[in-house]
Structure 1
C-alpha cells in the first residue's frame, strides 16, 4: 500500500494512493499515527480495502501533507555515504552519527521551504527515510526488518551556519520549520523490491546536484534499527532518515551553493515518488 495524508495543514485526513488515484480512508482509519501502527493498522486497513468499500476520491489538486502524523521523534543519520564524507572533508564514521530533527520541522512534500530568519546557508539533502512499525528495543539485526512499516522520500534541509558554526549540536541547524518535507507517500515494505538499490536525484532550479543510489549507504536499514534500539526505544510511527549522498551545496568547490528565496528544489527516488519545494523568505 501507499499511504497519504491530505488536506489543510494541521487538519490532514488519511488516504491511500492506488495507481494514480487518491482515496479518502478517514471512514476506516483515524490517522497514520503511533496508535495506528501499534495496533496493526496496516493489516486492518488492507483487509478493509479488500472488502471494496465505497470510498470518496480525493482530487489531485488537494494538498498532500506528511504521509505519517507527527511522530514521537525524527532521527537522522549523518555522513552515511562514503562520497558525501569525502566532499565535506569528514572521516568515514565507524559508528552511525545520530542527530534529531524537531517534529515541528515535518511538513508536506510540496509545501514551501521557509528560509529561517538570519539564514545565509540553507542547504538541501535528499534522503531515504523509513517508518517504524512497532515498538523496538534492543532489536537483533537479523530481526530488524520486522520493525519497519515502510519507506518515504525525505529532504533533510540544513542551515549550515546554524549547524556547524554556532557551537553545540547539529540539531539547531536541522530542526527549523519546514526542514523535513516527507512524502508524497509512505510505501509499505512489500511495495519496494530492493530498498538497497534505489536510484535518487535532486535538482535546484533544474540543475542536477544529487544523483546517487541507496547501494552506497554505509550503514543500511537493518543495522540502523538494531543500533538505534540499543540506545532508545523506537516507537511506532517514528521516522528514521538514513543520510544523504554527495552533491549538497556545502560540498560544492570552490564556492558552496546555498538556497535563496525563489529557488525551486525538486527531488525523487525510485519507487517513492517525487516532491517539489519552493524557497520563500521568512516573514513574521
Structure 2
C-alpha cells in the first residue's frame, strides 16, 4: 500500500534468502529504498491514513519465537478446519494497523475460511499514524530483524505448511523476500506495487509463481522497474504475471484519500483467482 514500503522492500532484498536460509540479496537495493524515504516528494506522495477502527472478531493476536531470540507478533485468522495452508499478509509502511487487519479478514472470508491468514507484524507492535512516523518506523527496523520475523512466521506455520505471501508497497517487497525464505513451502506470491528483487540468482531460488500488481503513475516502483523485474524473472526461469494500472502508488490502500476503487476491484479479482488456484480451492 504505501510507497515507503519500498524501503523495507529493498531491505527485504538485502535480507539473505534461499530455500531455507535464503540467498543473500543486494545492499544497494537497501540504499536505494532508504534514499526514497529521505526524499520529501516521496514522503509527501503518501497521504496520512483516514481514521478507522477495526471491529472484527474473527482474528486474534498471536506471538511466536524468532531465531534472533526475540518474540515476533502477528494477527491470525484461523481456518475453520485444521489445515497447513497459510496466507502471510504483509503490511504497508504504517505498520500492522486496523486497515491491514480488515483487509486480512476480507481475504480470509473470501477464501471461505479454508486458509489460515496471518498478518505478520514487521514493526514489533509499532503503528504509525502519519507519513513522518511511518518513515521513521520503517527505517529504524534492522534488516536482520526483518529477516528473523519472516523466518519466525515460516516456522510458526510449520514444516509441512503450504504458504502464499501477499503484501502492499513495503509489504509487497517483503512478500517476495518472504517467499524466498519460505523455500519449497512457498506456493506463490502476490505483490502490490512492491520493490522487486533484482538479483537473478536469488530469484532462481523462488518456489511458486508471482502475481505483480503495479501502478503506471508510480514514481518509485515505476514502469521501468517493473520491466526489469519481468526480464529478471524470465532470466531466472520463473513465472510472473504482471497487471498494470493507470493509477498512483498505493491505489489499493483504502486508508489512502486517493484510493482507486476501480483499479483495486480489478486487482483484487486477479488476487483471489491467483490465491484459489495456488491453494487449490
TM-score, normalised relative to structure 2: 0.27
Larger Rg: 1
Bigger proportion of residues as strand: 1
